[in-house]
Structure 1
Amino acid sequence: MMLIPCPFCGPRNESEFAYGGPVKPDRPDPNAVTDAQWVDYLMQVPNPLGPVHERWHHARGCGVWLTIWRDTRTHDIKEAPDA
């Protein structure tokens, strides 16, 4: 079980949250990149081993979107959002 620190509700069980995925780089202009680069941006999801910058939605709570740093090896939250 992971406890995710909500800035409004405090540490909450991961079952209250919906995973929003890793934080991606800014969306490129589709007209300024090649088709291959555009497909890579849309379809390639990073899956690194170690700290990952992620988005989580407190769906069964206050409804806030958070960005946290989570270590994918241990599920430890390395950096929590500011309140």
Structure 2
Amino acid sequence: MIINHPLLGPRDAAEFVYKGDASLIDRPDGMTDDLDRFHDYLYLRDNPAGEHRELWYHEQGDRSWLVVTRNTLTHDITNVELARDVARSRGRSR
């Protein structure tokens, strides 16, 4: 599988580590937010069939975090974004 890194171009998926659902970017504060929300963040995960947004870490490269939109049935990648850009855009929309 090839991941088209936004800064470095096409890279083999072996350079990356899958880190989970991209919703992990929106981590609630366990000290001030509702404990039920924090519990759900820690333990509840979707396991979708089809298009899904995922976090990938470029461990054997520039150590960047990416949000990869991938079809879990076909492994086709339709979009790759820097996670920092996704997090910043979500912060502005709140």
TM-score, length of structure 1 as denominator length: 0.78
CA distance in 1, matches of 2:28, 2:59: 29
Whether the aligned pair in 2 keeps the contact of 1:50 and 1:71 (CA below 8 Å) is yes
**Bigger mean CA deviation after superposition, 25-34 or 57-66:** 25-34
Secondary structure of 1:40 counterpart: helix
Report how far residue 27 of structure 1 moved.
3.4
CA distance in 2, matches of 1:32, 1:7: 33
Aligned-pair identity in percent equals 41
Question: In the alignment, residue 6 of structure 1 is paired with which amino acid?
Answer: H
Counting helix residues as a fraction of each chain, which structure ranks higher?
2
Report how far residue 62 of structure 1 moved.
1.3
Aligned residues: 80
Contiguous gaps of at least 5 residues in structure 1: none
CA deviation map 1:31-65 (0-9, x unaligned):
65364x54332101111011111111111011111
Residue in structure 2 matched with residue 69 of structure 1 by the alignment: 69
TM-score, length of structure 2 as denominator length: 0.70
Higher Cα Rg, which structure: 1
Whether the aligned pair in 2 keeps the contact of 1:3 and 1:13 (CA below 8 Å) is yes
Secondary structure of 2:19 counterpart: strand
Question: In the alignment, residue 33 of structure 1 is paired with which amino acid?
Answer: D
1:80 equivalent to 2:80? Answer yes
